[in-house]
Amino acid sequence: MIISVVSGKGGAGKTTLAASIAYVFGAEFYDLDVDAPNAEYFLQPEFADELPIVQPVPVFDENLCDACGICTKACRFHALYKILKNVYLSEPLCHGCGLCEMVCPQKAISYQDSAVGVVRSGFSQRTKNLVHVGDLNIGSTRGTYLISEMVKQIDPGKLSVIDGPPGNSCAAVAAIKPADLVVLVVEPTPFGFHDMKQTEQILIQMEKNYLVIANKSMDENDVDKFFQNRAKKSSLTISLDDRYHKANLQGEILSQQFSEIHSGLHTAISQEFVIQ
């Protein structure tokens, strides 16, 4: 079983709750917030392995390429473009599919590996399980590729928790795709609810089973009013509590420190699946 924890906006408490869920169920953890991973702050794994992630990208032999334009027309991702007598690559759009190499009549295209980032793995004494952290290279725009490569490593037969990137980008969708259950964390503010609705539409289109957690609530009545006319209610509301804030600053896992968080998460998620 794979649980993906996502949010429509940053700062909703997604990573805090993802770490708490991993602690409650002793789950293997994948930090796919590759632009700024920080779950290790809570899980404190002892990293033992580091796996470089590379993506193949096309390289053009200028002595063979006659700029016929066949490759630019064939590229479904529009990663290749032609200007006068030269063909250029827009790396952020390239998926490394190899089609351009196949269709080139001059055999002017080959592939070479381009560094994307690394995956660090280690054991957490807190969750008694492995933690995998994706680190995207500074300046790289290939977060979606790095996430997709990490997702391939997940064993669907094990209980795993994914901490996905915030927002509704392709990277966020890549972190949602393998999930059996999605935990949608919303900050109960007008902006938070607006972004939650956008993420919710993605989950509905992907036909994902999901639950909603309202985090950092100042007034439970306001949260209840927002959800009262909606088919999907909030499965758990967590208050904006100074105790939780101080625990976060100290790198503590909320579900380890506070029984109400532990029981609330356990109940909310167990109602969706029977977890062994």
Q: Is the pTM of this model over 0.95?
A: no
Q: How far apart are alpha carbons 90 and 78 in whole angstroms?
A: 8
- The reported pLDDT for the residue numbered 7 is 93
Give the mean model confidence (pLDDT) for residues 26-42: 95
- Stretch(es) of the chain classified as CATH 3.30.70.20: 62-107
Q: How far apart are alpha carbons 240 and 69 in whole angstroms?
A: 58
- The reported pLDDT for the residue numbered 119 is 97
- Stretch(es) of the chain classified as CATH 3.40.50.300: 2-53+122-270
259-270 helix and 14-25 helix, angle to the nearest 10 degrees: 80
- The reported pLDDT for the residue numbered 226 is 81
- CATH node for 62-107: 3.30.70.20
240-256 pLDDT, tens digit each = 999 999 999 999 999 99
H helix or E strand, kind and range, residue 159: none
Percentage, residues of the chain above pLDDT 90: 75
- The reported pLDDT for the residue numbered 180 is 94
Give the mean model confidence (pLDDT) for residues 165-185: 93
Q: How far apart are alpha carbons 94 and 114 in whole angstroms?
A: 11
Higher pLDDT, 79 or 224: 79
- The reported pLDDT for the residue numbered 192 is 85
Residue 49's alpha-carbon distances to 30, 102, 148, 200, in angstroms, are: 14, 36, 19, 36
- 193 Cβ contact partners less than 8 Å away, ≥ 6 residues apart: 186, 226
50-82 pLDDT, tens digit each = 999 999 999 999 899 999 999 999 999 999 999
- The reported pLDDT for the residue numbered 274 is 60
> Domain 2-53+122-270, what architecture?
3-Layer(aba) Sandwich (3.40)
118-156 pLDDT, tens digit each = 999 999 999 999 999 999 999 888 899 999 999 999 998
DSSP string, 40-58: HHHH--EEEEEEEEEEEEE
